[in-house]
Amino acid sequence: MAQEKQLKVPQHVAIIMDGNGRWAKKRFLPRNAGHTQGSRRVEEICREAWQIGIKYLTLYAFSTENWSRPEEEVRALLKILRNYLKESIKKATENNMRVRVIGDRSRLDADIRESIERLEEVSAANTGLNFQIALNYGSRDEMMRAVRRLLSDYDKGAITQEQLTEKVFSGYLDTCDIPDPDLLIRTSGEERLSNFLLWQCAYTEFYFPEVLWPDFDKNELKKAVE
């Protein structure tokens, strides 16, 4: 009898959580209902990712472009985010997750920044899933911030032109101590990166399922990995 093919599990999976608004519209609900349901899906996917052997999971939660959405929707997204960050301290401890936030924190309100710092501090020693939340994140913005830090170091004499390599530049990015994604998933069938991990995804495999994010469950994750 032929042996069952062993599942090759990627070390790092990144997900663009797309389709919350369309999920709500199909059910004649306000867009905010889709965002709320989408946030509930995160814990299940984190838990399942670790169970099948994924070590790093990065989710695109709020982009630098999201600020241009209607003010009411932005407020609702930030409210969901505030609640999620507070709950995550308990969840990270229960699930042994190390949680980090990538992106530009300077535009976020002080209470959100404090919650991020607290969450990262509390979960820093956890040894389970490495969970990255991309918050006020845009890949072009990330690279611009990296270049500014690089130029500052150059002006100080801390680095020379000859020392600059791809590996050195990667060290200035938000993901400096995280391996590049092996697999990127974007739900809802859209086939674009939307300014997400552009440098890091140079050799990443892409998967674009039609399912909307609030319906993306553990079976869909396994299907993506397979």
Q: Tell me the per-residue pLDDT of 152-198, one tens digit each, with 9 for 90 and over.
A: 999 999 999 999 999 999 999 999 999 999 999 999 999 999 999 99
Of the residues 18, 95, 136, 174, only one is catalytic, namely 18
Torsion of CA 36, 38, 41, 45, to 10 degrees: -140
Q: Which of 20, 66, 126, 177 is catalytic?
A: 66
Q: Residues of 120-133 as b/e, b for ≥16 C-beta within 10 angstroms?
A: eebbeebeebbbbb
Please indicate whether residue 18 is annotated as part of the active site: yes
Instruction: Please state the pTM of the whole predicted model.
Output: 0.93
SS3 call for 184: strand
Determine what percent of the chain is predicted with pLDDT higher than 70: 97
For 19-69, the pLDDT digits (tens) are: 999 999 999 999 889 999 999 999 999 999 999 999 999 999 999 999 998
